[in-house]
Every structure is written in structure tokens, then in C-alpha cells.
Amino acid sequence: MKNVITSLLLALLVVAVILLSEDLKEQEALLDELVDKHNEHLKYTEGQMDVLISHQKDITSIYEYLGEVQARRSFVSYR
């Protein structure tokens, strides 16, 4: 009787280990998928940041140009 209970407990342990290993494989696959999506999102946001920096440089250049134009107009109207 003791051997039967031990065998059943061992069989349950084996089944539990098999189920847990399958669950672990599924979790690893989901984690890999999330990491891939995160990396794609990082690439996207880096691209967006590059665009924003480019726009900022353009706006700064325009602002400086308009400041120079305003300074020339002020100089001309002062004369």
C-alpha cells in the first residue's frame, strides 16, 4: 500500500513538473514577444525623437533668422 501511494505521489509530481515546464515555455514565448514589441517601440520612439530634434533645429534657425530680420528693420527705421 505504501508503494502504491508513493508511486501515485511520484506520478503526480511528474505530471506537475511536465505541466509547469509547458507553462514556463509559454511564458518564455510571451516574454520574447513582449521584448520584441518593446524593441520595436524603442526604435519607433528613437525615430520620432530624431524627427523632433530636426524640427527643433529648423525652428531655431527660423527664429534666429527672424531675429536678424527684425534687427535689420529696427536699424533701418532708426536711421
DSSP-derived secondary structure letter, 2: H
In the prediction, which pLDDT does 77 show? 66
HEC string of 9-72 equals HHHHHHHHHHHHHHHHHHHHHHHHHHHHHHHHHHHHHHHHHHHHHHHHHHHHHHHHHHHHHHHH
Tell me the per-residue pLDDT of 25-64, one tens digit each, with 9 for 90 and over: 999 999 999 999 999 999 999 999 999 999 999 999 999 9
In the prediction, which pLDDT does 51 show? 95
In the prediction, which pLDDT does 57 show? 96
In this prediction, residue 76 has a pLDDT band, given cuts at 50, 70 and 90, of low
